[in-house]
Amino acid sequence: MIEIAPYVPDSRTLDCILPIEPINTWEWMKENSYTKKGVPFNYFDYPWVKGIAEAWDNPDVKRIFFMAGSRLGKTEDGLSFMHAAQDHNPDVGMIIGPDQKIVEETIGDRFWPMLEKSPKTRGLCPHPSRRAKQKVKTATFTIYGAWSGSPATLGDKDPRYLALFEIDKYTKDKSEESDPFNLAMARGAEIPDRKLYAESTPTIEGRSRIAKYVALGTNRRFHVPCPHCGHHQELVWNEGTDRSAGGLWWDRDENGNANPNVAASTAVYICIECGDEIKEEQRRAIISRGVWCAEGQYVDDDGKLVGRPVNDGSDESFQISRLYGPTFSFSECAKAYAESRGTPEGEQSFENDWRGMPWVPLVVQMQAEDLAKKLCVGDWDVGTVPKPCVFVTTAVDVQLDHFVLGTFGWDRQATGYLIRHDTVPSWNDVEAWLKTPWPHEDGHPIFSLINLVDSKDGNRQEEVFSFCMSVNNPRSPWTWPLEGARYGHMGVKMFNKRELENKFGSNGNKKKRKNEIAGLHCIQVNTMMTQNWLDNAMVRRMPGDPMSIILPRQIIGDTDLFDQLLNERYDPREGKHVRIDESTIPVDFRDVFRYSRTAAEVFTNGRWERLPKDRPVSSGLNVGAASQQFQTPRVINADLDDAVTKPGFIRKPKNPFLRGRR
């Protein structure tokens, strides 16, 4: 009998039919991951990455969501996970960011250098001159770049590995029919072993994508052991006045307030269990022994994770703050908290960047009578500018058959003083209002130098543009159209300014390009920031505080005004301000207040510290701020029309900052 030897396939055949050995991404990163500068991955300073890497390796986990403060390595983690996966089991990948520039910087300036510095993938990298910034193409894998606002880059791809960066900053293009984040999440969804990593610093409660998906996932927090008693706890800020409650603590005054320098010099962490102090020099050691603890779990005395996640499933999610960051100390974290108090802008920045949590705007709940009593404390007459004011702005809200106007004076602390508010029936009345010389308590009349006219109503937009073109003066006073931005799409910037396209008439200047209108701009208002400013000015700040508003006592009985101011309220479910009474109470005056503050920001260009110490005065039109473009018309026995049109009345200001700025 002939004996036949059994068939033994060669190694290449086995590679085709046997499953790939699983990878330990954490160990791979420790050995093979390098930064773009060629520095090895610092696993000691970023121990929390281990738990996220283990979720990436888990075949039962399909999507990972990571919410954290800024400068905590979120993007670096995602690139490292992509790097390890492509080295171990190459396939199609996709890197998605909020805009084209960020994606090109991520691929061109970060990911390509990471591939080149690593000994595992150095040989796959083409010459730098052949490296694209929107795609990574090697002999074994391809990674596409894509960004929000570009449906073409987000479509027609089937990636197995996805890394989505700063998802809360994704914006929707007008041509898109769905959220760009949803388009990104749908890529490669049909692939059984697809891996998706999405990260972001959060924005606003109710609108934050990353906060939503972290809450829907396992929602893990990083618990570290106390060096004295061993109790595991999440590192948090103590915002109260009870030191024994634990958390990051610093000295306060008798009113519970903190000076940033005092906070920095007295900061110490208090264990929530034993009450002992955890010093800065102990921070890195306890963080290195941390454990990711999901909602529904806890860490026992032996350091073991006990229990089952409430939202157990195929989505893992994680959250972490700067209290864990290797480049941030307890002292810096305490100082940042103290510095952020008092302004919605500062508080939002702290919540997002330091705490790594979505910011919850103030929800106003008060009666119109109470608001009137609080704000109507000014002793000036309606129509008169109070002495502290150094410049004046006016806003016009355009309705179908009437106009709502409001004029404010502003001091050097961004405090607004209501001079007059009313409703008028015609454009002639609006023009007369804008040309009014307002009597000032210092004895010198003052004109409104920035006037913003709402152009959002498509029915009258052409009228608004034509009116602004007819009354605007390139050398001031300025009358510009405005438009509101989508809620939450401008960050903390109060306004944007762009040149106005000449769609509705000739500019009369043949030297100008066709679409340029000399001295005319369109102002985009940050809806979110101005809504939050007004809420805080009504509730949290007292009249006279920086960024507050003060109204004259004479209008305390104007119930319609205060009803309108209170007729919008932040709704966390909607993630924006919504009307309370949509049928009988408008919000016209509320809009006018917001637009007037925006006009003040435009006039100062957000740099209120540049305002001159004393208001320059003459016998007529005056300047009280350091605007970017200004010349002072001098009025001597002449009406305003002549003053703002005759170049002979233009005088160069004496202020050296204003001089030469055209």
- Is the domain of 377 the same as that of 511? yes
Least confident of 440-449, 555-564, 650-659: 650-659
Strand order in the sheet with 403-410: 376-378, 549-552, 416-424, 403-410, 391-398, 448-454, 478-484, 521-525, 495-499
CATH code for the domain in which residue 60 is found? 3.40.50.300
Q: Is 3 a member of any domain?
A: no
Domain range for 33 is 20-216
317 within some domain: no
Co-location of 552 and 587 in the same domain: yes
pLDDT in tens, 254-266: 777 889 999 999 9
pTM score above 0.85: no
What's residue 253's pLDDT?
83
Q: Are residues 259 and 204 in the same domain?
A: no
pLDDT value at residue 288:
96
CATH, residue 432 = 3.30.420
Same domain for 194 and 232, yes or no, is no
Residue 318 placed within a domain: no
Q: Which of 483, 473, 484, 485 is nearest to 520 (CA)?
A: 473
Contacts of 38-45 with CB under 8 Å at 24 or more apart are: 38/113, 38/117, 41/80, 42/326, 44/284, 44/288, 45/284, 45/326
Question: Within this chain, do residues 53 and 174 fall inside the same structural domain, yes or no?
Answer: yes
Question: Looking at residue 344, what is its pLDDT?
Answer: 76
What values do phi and psi take at 69, rounded to 5? Answer: -65, 170
User: pLDDT tens across 285-323, in order?
Assistant: 999 999 999 999 999 989 999 999 999 999 999 999 999
Whole-number Å distance between alpha carbons of 114 and 290: 28
Burial class (CB in 10 A: 0-12, 13-18, 19+), 259: middle
Say yes or no: 402 and 334 in one domain. no
Q: Is the pLDDT of residue 541 over 60?
A: yes
Is 7 part of a structural domain of the chain? no
Q: How far, CA to CA in Å, does 427 sit from each of 50, 109, 404, 433, 464?
A: 65, 54, 11, 10, 9
Assess whether 88 and 152 both reside in one domain.
Answer: yes
Same domain for 375 and 347?
no
pLDDT over 70 at 202, yes or no: yes
- pLDDT bin (cut points 50, 70, 90) of residue 598 is very high
The CA distance from 613 to 611, in Å, is 6
Return the DSSP state at 107: I
* DSSP designation for 6: P
Residue 251 and residue 635: Cα distance in Å, rounded?
A: 56
Q: Which amino acid is at 183?
A: L
Across the range 439-461, mean pLDDT stands at: 91
By C-alpha distance, which of 88, 98, 99, 87 is closest to 111? 87
Q: Of the segments 19-23, 63-67, 178-182, 573-577, which one has the largest average pLDDT value?
A: 63-67
Q: How confident is the model at residue 191 (pLDDT cuts 50, 70, 90)?
A: very high
Return the pLDDT at 172: 73
112 in helix, strand or coil?
Answer: helix
- How many domains does the chain fold into? 3
Q: Name the domain boundary from 190, 216, 242.
A: 216
Domain boundary among 182, 216, 250: 216
Q: Is 312 part of any domain? A: no
Q: Taking Cα atoms as reference points, which of 343, 401, 407, 385 lies closest to residue 595? A: 407
Clarify whether residues 429 and 521 are in a common domain: yes
Q: What pLDDT is stored for residue 345 in this prediction?
A: 78
pLDDT of residue 5: 66
Question: Is residue 319 included in any domain, yes or no?
Answer: no
Kind plus residue range of the DSSP H or E element containing 151 = helix 151-154
Is the pLDDT score of 281 beyond 90? yes
Q: Which residues lie below 8 Å from residue 457, measured CB to CB, with a gap of 6+?
A: 398, 399, 400, 464
Confirm if 320 and 68 have CB atoms less than 8 A apart: yes
Same domain, 405 and 335: no
> Do the strands 315-320 and 376-378 form a parallel or antiparallel pair, or are they unpaired?
unpaired
15 assigned to some structural domain: no
Q: Using CA atoms, how far apart are residues 153 and 273, in angstroms rounded to an integer?
A: 51
Report helix angle 527-538 to 368-375, nearest 10.
Answer: 80
Contact 376, 566 (CB under 8 A): no
- Together in a domain, 438 and 581: yes
Q: Evaluate the omega torsion of the peptide bond into residue 477 and state whether it is cis, within 30 degrees of 0.
A: yes
Please compute the mean of the pLDDT values over residues 318-345 and round it to a whole number.
94
DSSP symbols for 380-447: SPTT-B-TT--EEEEEEEE-SS-EEEEEEEE-TT--EEEEEEEEESSHHHHHHHHT--B-BTTSS-B-
Range in 67-76, 97-106, 140-149, 337-346 with the lowest mean pLDDT: 337-346
Residue 10 lies in a domain: no
Q: Are residues 475 and 519 in the same domain?
A: yes
Which pLDDT band, with edges at 50, 70 and 90, does 7 fall under? low
Average pLDDT, whole number, for the chain? 87
Residue 488: what pLDDT? 72
Residue 506 above 60 pLDDT?
Answer: no
Task: Judge whether 622 and 444 are in contact, CB under 8 Å.
Answer: yes
Cα separation, 416 vs 393, whole angstroms:
10
Domain boundary among 216, 241, 270: 216
Average pLDDT over residues 9-22: 65
